[in-house]
Chain A
Amino acid sequence: MVGSKKPWKAWLYLSPAIVLLLIFTVWPIINTVRMAFLEGYNALAVAGGKKFEFGFANFVNVIEYRDFVTCLKNTVLLCVLTVPISTFLALVISVCLNAIKPFRRMLQTIFFLPYVTNSIAIGMVFAAMFNMVGRNIGGKNELILTAGIINNVIEFFGGQAINWINKGSSEVANMTVMVIYIVWNALPFKILVLLGGLQSVNKQYYDAAKVDGTSRLRTFTRITVPLLSPMITYVVITGFIGGFKEYSSIVGIFGEKMGPTSNPYRLDTMVGFIYRDLANQQGRASAAALILFGIIFVVTMLNLYISKKNTHY
């Protein structure tokens, strides 16, 4: 019971953190819930002395709003596509890295490289790789000077150049670019965690499997994956949380208009929706933020529940 004679001292030390948390964390939680349940809440009108009714109109408004459905669809699609792909790839790469000796550190460093990058800046690099340079692309009198390095590669293997991100590009092409970029971005963290997990796995299990003559595939599915399941759960959960908050990687590639020039906001996400409403439609933005929180919460709990059922030891 050290220091119990002077409890005020503890509170004194805590005061800077408490004051800042009250203003920038606790109040926002209360206020967001409040604004979400005041129908059509708008800070400008409040300043003009307007009063708002309590109700669920904001939520109804958000869900019925067509743009929100697009945002929700994009966000869920990106999550469902990128989380399994990146987790699987990271798992395979980690297992391979764990099975080699020379050059392991060097390869490990390379795989970690994308982590310390700026998602807007490198998004611009990806955009450049997929971008066609020329005049009137996607329109009449199209003149393509260079179709971009990725299309060069496709053409090299005998394929046809694809309009990935320019005017008139298809939604599938846009999504493909986003999935590639997000997976590329998500790999390093997942590899770091999974490789760390692999290195702490007891070697005895593998020796036993070897004695029994278990095949490599079986060893992988029956030993490696179950033993790694806590780490896999962890990267899947953080992956879903990150995925539901996807925003800046899309801004990196497509800019603030969140889509090709011909279809602005085609790739808008939940967070993008919240940011667009933030300055003048606080009620709707708050409702959307609460929905986002709800989704993240449910998905996290679901993941935890499933992993608990599937953890064998």
Chain B
Amino acid sequence: MPGETALRVSPDVVAQDLGDGLVLLNLRTGIYWGLNSTGAAIWRGIENQDGVEKICRQLRAEFDGSEEEFASAVHALLSELAAHELIVEKAASAAKITGKKTRKAK
């Protein structure tokens, strides 16, 4: 489960901000993906190696929604990104991306 693992952007993936969203390209597979503006905000958080809590805080500042909705959206996206190998497990032990909730669960 990505939410419990330290994750980072795959070295095979490059991204380009298009204003209202983002394009991700997996250089290894040649497949590209689109992120809408919410997804782009989450992606920037991943790039910055922010924790889930910080990403949710930033989403709250930009979009309407409850804390649960944001947390759920972030975890769902992390799972999906990991499933498509757009983000990968981080080699280092620091688990910033797991955020406060995960740490509590531990």
Bind each other:
no
